[in-house]
Amino acid sequence: MKELKDALLVAMLRHQKRIGYNRYLEPQDAAKEAGLSYESGQLRLCLNDFKDRGLVRAAFTMGGGPDGGLSSMLTAAGIEAAEEIESELPNLSQLARYIAEPKEKVEPLQNKVAELRDLVEKNRDNDFPEKEGCLAEIMALELLLHQPQISVPLIEKILTETVTFLARKFADKAIGMAAGAVIVLAAALFGFRFVP
């Protein structure tokens, strides 16, 4: 949720700059403009948090859906916070990309990640210095894949850094083949464009 809040605040800043600092904006419009994905009701939760922290002035007007009918204007503190986040993470819209996939679509990937974990964990022929760190990352990947909302950037980070490492290091062994299969399934499911 923190990633979505950060991304939304930056999206609101960008939208506010475009329409003017003295005008109310619709967070839903700012999120759509930035290409943010979110679940129903999450924008309202974010806006309530921003209001509590003094980052926005908020007004709730008539509108459809749990995220419709929200109007807000960034305060000076909100502008400052958004600028700080934006300077640290310029590609924030990608960072906050969440998806909710049906269980049956994610299950093959979950199974392949579990198989990879078992191979890395149990095969003593393949002990290597990075083993414990890789196991921790694979377990984190398993947890992420079992969440109702999947954080795509976190999964991509683990795939890029850990699973790709395993695919290359053990290219001709069972671990490498399992890692490669995880990458292929994840790429198909989430639209990643990289190869091991």
pLDDT digits (tens, 9 = 90+) for 8-57: 888 899 888 888 888 888 888 888 877 777 777 888 888 889 999 999 98
Confidence of residue 184 (pLDDT cuts 50, 70, 90): very high
Instruction: Please say which residue of 75, 96, 117 terminates a domain.
Output: 96
Q: Are residues 18 and 66 in the same domain?
A: yes
Note the pLDDT of residue 111: 96
Type of residue numbered 113: V
Task: Please tell me the pTM assigned to this model.
Answer: 0.54
Q: Say how many domains are in the chain.
A: 2
Instruction: Please say which residue of 46, 64, 96 terminates a domain.
Output: 96
Confidence of residue 95 (pLDDT cuts 50, 70, 90): very low
Note the pLDDT of residue 64: 64
Number of Cβ within 10 Å of residue 120's Cβ equals 24
Instruction: Please say which residue of 77, 96, 115 terminates a domain.
Output: 96
Q: Whole-number mean pLDDT of the chain?
A: 83
The answer on pLDDT for 96 being more than 60 is no
More confident residue, 190 or 177: 177
Q: Are residues 114 and 131 in the same domain?
A: yes
The mean pLDDT value for 178-193 works out to 87
* CATH number for 30: 1.10.10.10
What gap in Å lies between CA 41 and CA 1, rounded to an integer?
A: 12
Q: Are residues 86 and 104 in the same domain?
A: no
Note the pLDDT of residue 196: 46
Q: Are residues 103 and 185 in the same domain?
A: yes
Tell me, yes or no, whether 195 lies in a domain: no
pLDDT tens-digit map of 101-139: 678 889 999 999 999 999 998 877 667 788 888 999 999
Count CA atoms closer than 13 A to 138's CA, side-chain side.
29
The answer on pLDDT for 164 being more than 50 is yes
Q: Are residues 82 and 24 in the same domain?
A: yes
The mean pLDDT value for 170-181 works out to 92
The answer on pLDDT for 60 being more than 80 is no
Note the pLDDT of residue 142: 92
Confidence of residue 163 (pLDDT cuts 50, 70, 90): very high
The mean pLDDT value for 85-108 works out to 68
Instruction: Calculate the CA 102 to chain-centre distance.
Output: 17
CA distances from 120 to 6, 136, 158, 191, 196 (A): 35, 11, 15, 26, 17
What gap in Å lies between CA 26 and CA 59, rounded to an integer?
A: 10
